[in-house]
């Protein structure tokens, strides 16, 4: 199977498995797991923040950022197709008791004007706006890397209104690689930043949330309240250290593979690539084939190719560590075979 459903499917490398086996561990609830402590220290340093917290997932990282920086009844602002709004089960409302206000962006980024209009003034009828959430790269915008300057101006606007900013950096290193800047540069445009270790960086599980020591202390308490205080988690932190220190430099390979896939698909009659493909995600519109994307996905699966539906007529292909150049060539061949048979 060539699994292009997501970069969440990456499996740990041999080096990671060995590190898991050899990991020094302790009780992390008491702050005594040396490997978790080392990962959190490295993550804080790499992201340019005072402190970091090892969390179970990107979703938990986002939700802890909301819980630690808002109060019930507040309003938080995010782009309409952001993961926090689209894919987290309404958790920000269910857990933090906040209302989510979305702004339709272009390429995953909303304009400063629309942001200023969305931030609430001090009126007894209004909720307080307490958090603005960014996402870079932006998944539903096709893994688009949002330029540093755009993030910087949002952060400056938010600061002028004394509103905090959280950056969902599930694929932050993909953004940094595409933009030619550092993860720290991008993270500097936020008060908190979450980073997935388990996507393109290849760790088996987990994310880190980084921010001020005060905010991370609050997030740690919320993680405990939610039952996320784990014990000898050094076994999972050890591959996380490899992920954050060694795996980012190879992400451009995934981006090259995604571009190869997109170029090949553009030559196939009836298919159109609908995103810029500046990182590891390719969004393909199949509507001209007059078939549902479900049918196409089924036919692909029979040929050993896995991908996911992304709305009505779009299929998402995501490249990652476990997808090689020959996998891309094979995928293109199999797509051609399927469409020839169906013509
Ligand atoms: C931008 C962003 N932020 C957060 C998350 C959540 O990470 P996890 O909770 O799955 O670890 C994801 C996962 N994205 C997954 C995927 O792309 O296959 C699915 C959609 O949840 C994400 O893309």
Query: 266-292, pLDDT tens digit by residue?
Result: 999 889 999 999 999 999 999 988 888
Q: Tell me which of 10, 56, 139 to substitute to probe ligand 1's pocket, judged by most ligand atoms within 8 Å of the beta carbon.
A: 139
CA distance 178 to 186: 12
Long-range contacts of residues 110-119, Cβ cutoff 8 Å, at least 24 apart: 110/79, 110/154, 112/153, 112/154, 112/157, 115/77, 115/154, 115/157, 115/158, 116/157, 116/161, 118/77, 119/77, 119/161, 119/163
What is residue 342's predicted lDDT score, i.e. its pLDDT? 64
CA distance 283 to 288: 14
CA distance 55 to 50: 17
Ligand 1 contacts (CB < 6 A) are: 6, 8, 57-59, 83, 87, 135, 139, 168, 170, 196, 198, 207
List % helix, strand, coil for the chain (3-state, nearest 5): 50, 15, 35
What per-residue string of b and e applies to 281-302 under the rule 16 or more CB within 10 Å gives b? bbbbbbeebeeebeebbebbee
The alpha carbon of 170 and the centre of ligand 1 are apart by a number of angstroms equal to 7
The alpha carbon of 297 and the centre of ligand 1 are apart by a number of angstroms equal to 20
| Closest C-alpha among 187, 230, 210, 233 to residue 68 | 210
As a dihedral over the C-alpha atoms of residue 167, residue 66, residue 170, residue 298, rounded to 10 degrees, the angle is -130
CA distance 310 to 70: 31
Q: Which atom of ligand 1 is nearest to the CA of 8?
A: 18
What is residue 292's predicted lDDT score, i.e. its pLDDT? 85
CA distance 250 to 222: 34
What is residue 339's predicted lDDT score, i.e. its pLDDT? 85
The alpha carbon of 235 and the centre of ligand 1 are apart by a number of angstroms equal to 22
Question: Which regions in the chain score pLDDT beneath 70?
Answer: 341-343
Query: 97-131, pLDDT tens digit by residue?
Result: 999 999 999 999 999 999 999 999 999 999 999 99
What is residue 343's predicted lDDT score, i.e. its pLDDT? 60
Predicted-complex ipTM score: 0.99
For residue 78, the cross-strand partners are 102, 133
Q: Which atom of ligand 1 is nearest to the CA of 171?
A: 1
Among protein residues, the one with the nearest Cα to ligand 1's atom 7 is: 58
Q: Which atom of ligand 1 is nearest to the CA of 60?
A: 9
Q: Look up the pTM and report it.
A: 0.97
CA distance 235 to 55: 13
Among protein residues, the one with the nearest Cα to ligand 1's atom 4 is: 58
Q: What is the CA radius of gyration of the chain?
A: 20
CA distance 26 to 141: 41
Q: Which atom of ligand 1 is nearest to the CA of 199?
A: 11
The alpha carbon of 343 and the centre of ligand 1 are apart by a number of angstroms equal to 36
């Amino acid at each position: 199977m060539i699994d292009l459903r997501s970069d969440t499917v990456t499996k740990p490398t041999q080096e990671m498995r060995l590190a898991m086996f050899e990991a020094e561990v302790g009780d992390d609830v008491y702050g005594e797991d040396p490997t978790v402590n080392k990962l959190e220290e490295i993550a804080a340093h790499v992201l340019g923040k005072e402190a970091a917290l090892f969390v179970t997932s990107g979703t938990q990282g986002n939700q802890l950022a909301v819980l630690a920086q808002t109060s019930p009844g507040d309003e938080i602002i995010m782009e309409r197709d952001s993961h926090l709004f689209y894919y987290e089960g309404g958790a920000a409302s269910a857990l933090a008791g906040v209302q989510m206000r979305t702004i339709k962006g272009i390429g995953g980024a909303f304009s400063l004007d629309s942001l200023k209009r969305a931030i609430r003034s001090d009126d007894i009828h209004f909720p307080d706006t307490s958090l603005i959430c960014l996402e870079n790269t932006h998944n539903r915008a096709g893994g688009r890397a949002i330029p540093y300057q755009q993030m910087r101006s949002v952060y400056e606007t938010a600061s002028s209104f004394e509103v905090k900013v959280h950056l969902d950096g599930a694929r932050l290193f993909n953004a940094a690689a595409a933009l030619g800047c550092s993860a720290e540069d991008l993270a500097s445009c936020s008060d908190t930043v979450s980073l997935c270790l388990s996507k393109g960086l290849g760790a088996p599980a987990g994310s880190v949330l980084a921010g001020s020591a005060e905010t991370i202390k609050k997030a740690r308490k919320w993680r405990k309240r939610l039952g996320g205080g784990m014990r000898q988690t050094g076994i999972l932190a050890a591959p996380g250290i490899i992920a954050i220190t060694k795996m980012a430099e190879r992400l451009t390979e995934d981006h090259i593979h995604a571009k190869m896939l997109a170029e090949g698909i553009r030559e196939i009659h009836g298919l159109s690539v609908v995103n810029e493909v500046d990182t590891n995600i390719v969004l393909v519109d199949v509507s001209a084939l007059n078939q549902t994307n479900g049918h196409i996905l089924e036919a692909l699966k029979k040929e050993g190719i896995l991908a996911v539906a992304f709305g009505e007529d779009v299929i998402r292909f995501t490249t990652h560590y476990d997808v090689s150049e020959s996998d891309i060539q094979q995928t293109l061949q199999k797509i051609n075979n399927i469409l020839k048979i169906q013509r």
